[in-house]
Structure 1
Amino acid sequence: MAHDKLAVLIDADNARPAIVEGLLAEVAKYGTAHVKRIYGDWTKPDLSGWKEVLLRHSIQPIQQFRYTVGKNATDSAMIIDAMDLLYAGRFDGFCIVSSDSDFTRLASRIRESGQTVYGFGEKKTPEPFRTACDKFIYTEVLAGIAETETAAAPKQRSAKELRGDTRLMNLLRGALEAASDDTGWASLGTIGNIISKQSPDFDSRNYGYAKLSGLIKGIGLFDTEERQIGNGKHLYVRPRESRK
């Protein structure tokens, strides 16, 4: 996966310069960004904060004038470019950076072509766009967000808070049951894959844990075991038996 060729398309009207460093670090986990473009009306002063960030990270600004008040021409330009890149057949996946639901159909169309879609947006992003992606990452968890901004990085939740989150617990238990063998143990990697397919916006960082393994250990209801398989170590998980 690390060798996948990715196209990163950013909606400047619905993203902030402070997330870029964390964004590109996250993108690097999934592949190499061969195209980095950002769309907006650069004649408007509200986008001036992007200039230094774009130069530093070699992101190409695409100018799109706002022809009519209330109409988002940026979205149209970004969608047209995405389709051109898709038809070129040079990429394995797309990273769409926006909190706008207008990109829902685009994400679905790219996935229909067998390519992976990574969405990036704030927690206010409408559910249709989040679920249209293979994986959706909330920009609040990305490094580089200033403390003065309204969206602060999530704080680590306590075991009590995690256990009280019905959606989280059902998701984890369901994935563990689906991935477990006859002894009740399941590979953490398999659990993570199942959860991602069921809930594209799931991310352990939303709960204040850097990795899924930390989140599972933080809940305190599961046993974990590290196993040597081949040249690497793999973590296995099973429900903790109740102790009388």
Structure 2
Amino acid sequence: MRIALFITCFNDTMFPGTGKAVVRLLERLGHTVDFPQEQGCCGQMHFNTGYRREAVPLARRFAEVFRGYEAVVTPSGSCAAMVRDHHRVLQPDLAPPPVYELSELLVDVLGVTDVGAWFPHRVTYHPTCHSMRMLRVGDRPLRLLRAVRGIDLVELPAAESCCGFGGTFALKNPDTSNAMLADKVHHVRATGAEVLCAGDNSCLMHIGGALSRTRTGIATRHLAEILAATEEDADEHPS
């Protein structure tokens, strides 16, 4: 299958390794991955902060750039939800292309759960709010993680609780955000995990910052990075 990668602004700017992991993973599974250079913001930041008029041209550009692809994959539940749920609100006359969060693409479209990954570490998984509540990805990420060789996957207590990031929510409501974050960190530490995994780097950055500041020694990894890992990477300790 010919698949387009929508990397998102956040990943492109701060976590480019996640996009590279998506490409490695899909190419290992035998698919062709394109990266349209003309892509830009999906408009989520504008839409969520009330600048809907400014988000319209971004939504239209998105549809133009990704037109014609069998599938568009993004390593971000929040941006996938923006395109699928809100681009229709912004541009009802223009259907968005078929956009999938990574676990949806792998399980529902490509029909795989065992992607040949190897990650010999104790891992716990945080389901991000957009992927869980808007996309309803359910247990797809966990099914993919359970098939990873060498992994010790442990359940995260109160997993469905928000980490407190929420984009500008963390800036506008810092006290509430920090309280939510403290609860999440407490639960992550209780698992004894070496690595916290999630499908959105925004949440991983928020939680990972607290894990680092409190010197827990717990690393963070995007789902794509774990699924892209192979036995050749087994000697590398997560950092």
Q: So what's the TM-score if we normalise by structure 1?
A: 0.32
Q: So what's the TM-score if we normalise by structure 2?
A: 0.33
Q: Which one has the bigger strand percentage?
A: 1
